[in-house]
Amino acid sequence: MASSVPFDQLDGFIWMNGVFVPWKDAKIHVLTHGLHYASAVFEGERAYGGEIFKLDEHTERLHESARILGFKIPYSVAEIEDACRELLKKQGFLDAYVRPIAWRGSEMMGVSAQNNRINCAIAIWQWPSYFDPAQKLKGIRLDIAQYRRPDPRTAPSKSKAAGLYMICTLSKHAAEDKGYADALMLDWRGQVAEATGANIFFVKDGVLHTPTPDCFLDGITRRTIIGLAKRRGYEVVERAIKPEEMEGFEQCFLSGTAAEVTPVSEIGPYRFEVGEIAKTLMNDYSAEVQPKHAAAAE
């Protein structure tokens, strides 16, 4: 997400608690609970051709994430969706990244914060590709992370909560320091889980295998890819996957709103080809996200 301009200095507007404010004026206090205690939930969405892909599913998940963290967003799903669409037009973008976020404010500072205001904001900016496009076509290289996705008895793993991404940042930084694009994270049992910001799929003998999301996020893009694969007639198996099984897989790819569909050529000691199934699903996803009216016009 590198930018030549710091993100707090971009142009345009941010929707914040029901009001469109100039980008540089969208500020919070340093003693905001969400900053100190990670009491924040967010979504990552993409707009294609002026329409936000699966906006309903993302906004409903934002509300559900907040519920899991014990607070209620003071704006309905419809209100947030309307704000996202209006902000996209106000920013003047057709293709863009959309980031809604909700967090506890600064009324109480401490672990306990029942009386804090629940704030909500939406920012939209242009973000062409999560991984280097040239690297993506060859298949990106992943390290194997030191940190693991936690036992769901120890963290709210069904929520897209800010605090769950701390070990993702640490793992991605460590991987990049070693020349990798990202890292594969195992789960608390030592099974394959996901990358630091995307779900993972493997291919063997024409069958797709993907880890069961019982301790990490069941991504909206992940579910989309499963639907596209089944539409193609591919079998999809959701199951526990042990790291040593990667030796026998032929193809591998990541899926996520930011990553879209990204082939993987290497995970630690394991190698994969950028094969036809990965390429087909990459193309199918690209077609799926285009607005239906645009597809019809073509």
Q: How far apart are CA 163 and CA 150, in angstroms?
A: 12
Q: 146 φ, ψ to 5°?
A: -70, -40
The position carrying tokens 């793992």 is 171
- C-alpha separations of 40 from 32, 59, 100, 121, 270 in Å: 10, 15, 11, 11, 36
CA-to-CA distance for 61 and 161, rounded, in angstroms?
11
Q: CB–CB of 47/36 below 8 Å?
A: no
Q: How far apart are CA 52 and CA 130, in angstroms?
A: 17
Catalytic positions, please? 160
Q: How many of the other CB atoms lie within 10 Å of CB of 5?
A: 8
CB 169 within 8 A of CB 195: no
Question: Can you read off the two tokens belonging to residue 116?
Answer: 């804090």
- Burial level of 11, CB count in 10 A (0-12/13-18/19+)? exposed
> Which of the 8 DSSP states describes residue 116?
P
